[in-house]
Chain A
């Protein structure tokens, strides 16, 4: 059974510091991995999708890597800003039908 884990559960950094968020999964047979941002009481905003054949994806200050063999993905956010404060979720897609299995998230606070 696939388990998705995000450690740490919470993280506080000063503005300008780079953020490194970790996601691990137990079954390497995944189709894709997607990173989301969730603000309190709000929906999920898609940040990046990495297909299983890819090693990384980049969008602006965000870069996500995927290492299927070790069951890990890392989301890097460069030069963090207070507006980056949110909970970041990773989710793995085990098959082509699209079902996503989520981690519990890392709550990030960026202090001015």
Chain B
């Protein structure tokens, strides 16, 4: 059964460093998303991506964040200069169309020290 994969599973970085989180969405899906979940809090939407451009972003997704689909399979989230408050579980998701069922990856736990 196709699934969304994410690497790494856990990333530890120092404040101010750049991190890139990687995702491989399900192959025939066209819509891609990033969400995050701070420990003990709700899952929060960050950004949606379709046709090689951002379709929607939340107020969390500021200039420190960027997304890219560098090739036909990967979808990445970059945080340019990490802050302590960026520590969270980051989930990638994909769907065949915009309002269709979303499938989530296992997440990357980002710890900023």
**A and B are interacting partners:** yes
Determine which residue in A34, A95, A99, A103 has the highest number of CB atoms from chain B within 10 A of its CB, and name it.
A99
Stretch of A10-18, A19-27, A43-51, A61-69 with 4 or more beta carbons under 8 angstroms from chain B: A43-51
> Does chain B have a CB within 8 A of A91?
yes
Known A97-B55, A98-B31; contact A44-B99, beta-carbon cutoff 8 A = no
The distance from the CB of B12 to the nearest CB of chain A, in whole angstroms, is: 16
> Does chain A have a CB within 8 A of B65?
no
Please indicate the chain A residues that have their CB under 8 angstroms from the CB of B99 in the complex: 31-32, 51, 93, 95-98
Q: Bound complex: CA of A43 vs CA of B4, how far in Å? A: 10
The distance from the CB of B95 to the nearest CB of chain A, in whole angstroms, is: 6
> Does chain B have a CB within 8 A of A77?
no
Q: Bound complex: CA of A91 vs CA of B31, how far in Å? A: 17
Known A44-B91, A89-B43, A103-B42; contact A97-B56, beta-carbon cutoff 8 A = yes
Question: In the complex, what residue of chain B is closest to A98 when comparing beta carbons?
Answer: B98
| Contact between chains at B48 and A44 (CB < 8 Å) | no
Question: In the complex, what residue of chain A is closest to B97 when comparing beta carbons?
Answer: A98
Question: In the complex, what residue of chain A is closest to B106 when comparing beta carbons?
Answer: A43
Select one of B41, B45, B107 contacting A100, CB under 8 A: B45
> Does chain A have a CB within 8 A of B44?
yes
Q: Bound complex: CA of A67 vs CA of B113, how far in Å? A: 45
Select one of A36, A95, A98, A101 contacting B95, CB under 8 A: A98
Q: Bound complex: CA of A98 vs CA of B44, how far in Å? A: 13
- Known: A43-B104, A91-B43, A99-B33; 15 extra A-B contacts, CB below 8 A, are A32-B99, A36-B104, A42-B107, A44-B91, A45-B104, A46-B102, A93-B99, A97-B31, A98-B31, A98-B33, A98-B102, A99-B48, A99-B58, A100-B102, A104-B41
List the interface of chain A (C-beta within 8 A of B).
31-32, 34, 36, 42-46, 49, 51, 89, 91, 93, 95-105
